[in-house]
Amino acid sequence: MKYLPLNPEIFIKNRERFAKELLPDSIAIFVSNDEVPSNGDALFTFKQNSDLFWLSGIMQEDSMVILFPDHPDPKYREVLVLVRPNELKEKWDGKRLRAEEAKKSSGIQTIIWLDSIDGLLQPWIHLADNIYLDSNENDRKASLIQTREYRFVEDMKKRYPLHHYHRAAKIMKQLRAIKTPLEAEVIQQAIDITNNTFRRLLKFIKPGVMEYEIEAEIFHSFLSQRATGPAYNSIIASGDRARTLHYISNNNECKDGELLLMDFGAEYGGYCADLTRTVPVNGKFSKRQKQVYNACLHLHNYAKSLLKPGISITEYSKLVGEEANVVFHKIGLITKSDIKNQTPEHPAYWKYMYHGISHHLGIDVHDLGTRTEPIKAGMVFTVEPGIYIEEEQLGVRIENNVWITRNGNKDLMEKIPITVEEIETLMRK
């Protein structure tokens, strides 16, 4: 890993929170993600199972976390399973964790090698009445590929058919949505790296630069600050391409007079930042560009003012949509007739803002969390309204990350330039 060691208390507290939610005499088992083949004998870069990382901080493949709070032997109440270091494999693929290193990183004191686990797991299962197994219950999940966790579920049910099985993901969805102060500190580190990178870009952007050159600057800046890399594929969209929400081709020239929408964020210590800024390629907003940008910034600030404990994302989105109708009418995008004739299924503002305003953020960019229950203190959300005008071939989006507090929220990106004046001043320099 490139990032500095994290405080193991993050993961110790996470395990304590999870263990409190288990039924008596329960064992919970989490397995790491697959190593996924690409072509030939190559593999895609390994990405750890987010739930396993949340519990342990371990990024290594072929890992397991086993929690059995009521085990009669205290040393088996928390177990970390790792692949045994192999001298020949390490000559090819690099060093694997030693037991003492894993203890220090995770706070788990019992380390068992993967090739020894079968003989121990069976008697533990026989002691338990309930088995909690993990699954991917992110509402945005789209893949039909059967991953390791689902294969593990099938295998366990065949071997131990008479136990009571439960969904660990149901607990995880509630717990991972609430970030502890220690987790928020790591997210802030990812955001600070992203802030430094954005300020660097403001000095680099000019007419004639290619979108992919900007993407390269982002990657270089992230790695030079110990980030793992981008938290997601960076969106570098100049001109009309900014209306494509997930534009990642990044292969066009940024031209004089265009706006440039950049949606990027660093991953640090397993946690993600998610920033969007829209800037003028030549360093100066035109009168119309400034009008649209400030309209989007107004919506951004209005949305932030609503995000506090007690409101649901559904109600919050409705209120932001109503304000968007007012704002879009002021800048000449929709008429009073458009608003009068809108329907709940097709509100007038949708023509110019056709995506959600916020999503949970954490270990995953689109992190686990409910969209229907009231927002709670500790949650981290993006705030990202946008205005996309086909007739004018421009798109504007402004996105910050906020941590919900008891009385409102804390803008974790408050130090990142956001106003027209701040952006123009830094680009002039």
Question: For residue range 241-299, what is the model confidence (pLDDT) as tens digits?
Answer: 999 999 999 999 999 999 999 999 999 999 999 999 999 999 999 999 999 999 999 99
Residue 296 near residue 386 (C-beta atoms within 8 A): yes
Report the distance separating Cα 259 and Cα 239, nearest Å: 6
- List the structure tokens of 197: 């990178």
- List the structure tokens of 89: 């494999």
pTM listed for this prediction: 0.96
Task: Calculate the alpha carbon distances from 18 to 12, 22, 376, 395 in Å.
Answer: 10, 7, 18, 42
pLDDT of residue 144: 78
Report the distance separating Cα 30 and Cα 134, nearest Å: 6
Report the distance separating Cα 195 and Cα 183, nearest Å: 19
Q: Which CATH number fits domain 9-176: 3.40.350.10, 3.40.50.2000, 1.10.10.10, 3.30.465.10?
A: 3.40.350.10
Report, as ranges of residue numbers, the positions in the chain whose pLDDT lies below 70. none
pLDDT of residue 222: 98
Domain boundaries, the chain: 9-176, 181-428
Of 108, 110, 103, give the one whose Cα is nearest residue 73: 110
pLDDT digits (tens, 9 = 90+) for 65-101: 999 999 999 999 999 999 999 888 888 889 999 999 9
- List the structure tokens of 91: 């000559």
Give the Cβ contact number of residue 408 at 10 Å. 15
Q: What SS3 class is residue 141?
A: coil
- List the structure tokens of 404: 């919900």
Report the distance separating Cα 112 and Cα 99, nearest Å: 8
Q: Which CATH class, in words, describes the domain spanning 181-428?
A: alpha beta
* Sequence-distant (≥ 6) Cβ neighbours of residue 422 within 8 angstroms: none
pLDDT of residue 374: 95
pLDDT of residue 309: 96
